[in-house]
Amino acid sequence: MKPIRALAAACSFILAFGTGAASLHAEEKAQGGDVVSSLQDAPPAAQDVPLADEGTSQDAFLDSLFEQLAKSKSAQQAEVIEEAIWNVWTQSGSPSVDYLMRQGLTAMADGHHGEALIYFTQVVTLAPGYAEGWSKRSALYYLMEDYQRALKDLEQVLRLEPRHFAALGGLAVLLDELGDKEGALVAYRKVLTIHPYLDGAREAEERLSEEVEGQGI
């Protein structure tokens, strides 16, 4: 039985690193638009999500987005940038991989874990450099309570994309559940340097800070 406290902290991260932005965005290729000008303190809508200029490389676009995410001034602003990052992350570049991901996500959402595992394992076999395949399989292993395999897949995600805030959040949740409070605290603090408004991270960091370091003077 998982601790209720840990489950509460885990929910938002499972939704994040388990499903990404709820669906694949492979068809939504980034075209035109100024990244900075689209970041407003208003509820995010599809047209508000920053898009890459046609001549901008994916790596350069992500670097720009992460720089802006770290400096975001509100949760609403951060949400717009986060959506743009997911739009990039979910583009595998392969219709076959996209199909397998969709099938895996559907199976996982329906509770068909064995079927989902087959699909996600095919993804990481066909596209070992695609971080989201490892991320989704890690989320699935978590739901199956196979924490060791979940950790191994999270490590692979972070080797491919060290800034993957959702994977770091998932790592923090797992370390917390496994009793490594100090490791979880380090992971949460790393998350907050990348994404200062990630759901649940600030509260979890404050709780663990008190547990590990005490209330101080």
Euclidean distance between CA atoms 79 and 93, whole angstroms? 24
- In contact, 49 and 174? CB cutoff 8 Å: no
| Per-residue model confidence as pLDDT tens digits over 18-61 | 444 333 333 333 332 332 233 333 334 434 556 555 556 888 99
Q: Which helix (H) or strand (E) holds 209?
A: helix 201-213
CATH of domain 1-26+130-217: 1.25.40.10
Structure tokens belonging to residue 135 = 């991320």
**Residue 197: what residue type?**
Y
Task: Please give the pLDDT value at position 215.
Answer: 56
How far is the C-alpha of 5 from the C-alpha of 179, rounded, in Å? Answer: 13
- Dihedral sign, CA of 201, 38, 22, 100? negative
Give per-residue pLDDT as tens, 164-194.
Answer: 999 999 999 999 999 999 999 999 999 999 9
Query: What pLDDT was estimated at residue 54?
Result: 56
Residues of CATH 1.25.40.10 domain(s) within the chain? 1-26+130-217
